[in-house]
Structure 1
């Protein structure tokens, strides 16, 4: 895996709650499994509840197998029994604002604290597709719906205790993107790579904007590039096949996100970009304040009817 791809083994209190979107497969699967293995309360949020249940069962089985293999090296008096991983599932479809709001309201109704929000779910489509809300599929699923979740959960994160974090799984593919409000919704043209890059670029730009405009700075927000990870999503593309020899597996891809979400040494680090399990730098493009303002003006207009009524109490707009 490489010595640079690792995260510290920390003991997470069982009352510390993590949401992992897309936690039933790929990178998200390993994020959820490892954080729950370290003791955290994990909620995986995804579209297919049957697949989510299967994933939870598989995580438990893998954990128990790995636990017993370690126990076998100990004396009989030192051995203990494996515990039940504290993992739940919730339904979330990022391609629908209505269904995203349903997830948001259902979580709020739990009256449960939220300590870390890991926005990992994402898609990469070959051809232009529009959502039921009439937005380009990757724009809405990878960016707009994630932003909506952040805006609703910020007050909850701010009141859940110390060291609350928002962690976004982004991509170095942001370099292929650009902000063009005349074509932001693929009104004029569509390119699979460019539009995917746009959605990841906008994640990073919104991170910088929020870092500046959120009134309570106690909640940190970071963006993580997991490296090129071999998944079902990427294998249908010619560049995916070409990159296969250099790709990481799901666990390796998850390490950077897990470290950003759990490493105590990163407490208070906000508005930063992680790559290869360390803070890295981006190009100057997403750091441009005028572009950030232009993007967020558009984003707030799109999300207007779904925004929290009291949003101006915690964000300078």
Structure 2
């Protein structure tokens, strides 16, 4: 495919999502190749960029779509994110880039940025002190509230614990932080209706493009991966606006935003999480929108196009 755009899909596993993305890139005349970040390397003898990306020889991709970053040691994950940082420094558009992914993967930073940007989200506490976390739990329980304890890094509803007084008013002690990598991330629990549900809204290029309700699942956890049923949802102005603001707060090109109705105002959604490497198989099952095509179009028509646009000089001289 001589002269075609060459795209790297960064992923540690191939399957349904990568197949959809490759098909969408082919429809746009672009050649997409799956690359594992663990196989990339920095090599300052590798001319001309000092970056070796498998399948691209001494050249770099025209753009990068980040579909997945494998877990590993702190050093391994830092190295993989470093490759994404290096690609951006070399002028390659990265969708979503490492800075944005770092903000969304770290739930404490997500909560802080949502709070600073005035995006409605449940009260949140995070720190390394078990004593402080226990005081938060006791204070919330005394007010008749529960909290959810989550792994700082995690997805698909795994490892969540709901804490608070039981029906007899007894408060169980805070779980050991050892299972949470010695970090306590606590979020005020928002009681849902019956049956319980939350929303997932997909934001692409600053627009909310699709929404669904995730109903049921593993008790009070409504993730698709935990058995929740996906239903079409009306993309209301409130849902769309809140999801867009959350995505902008983290600087993401696209995001899956998880929201839940506020207890005192069901029409006003609260943001629970913002996913910067979002899966969309469940959402695709309830929407006619070709999500992979929408993502690919935004990457090529906005992100890549903007990176290649001429830059006007501050003095008003002609663009270069």
TM-score normalized with structure 1 length? 0.27
Task: Considering fraction of residues, name the structure with more strand.
Answer: 2
Q: Which has the larger radius of gyration?
A: 2
* TM-score (normalizing by structure 2): 0.27
Tell me which protein shows more helix as a share of its residues: 1
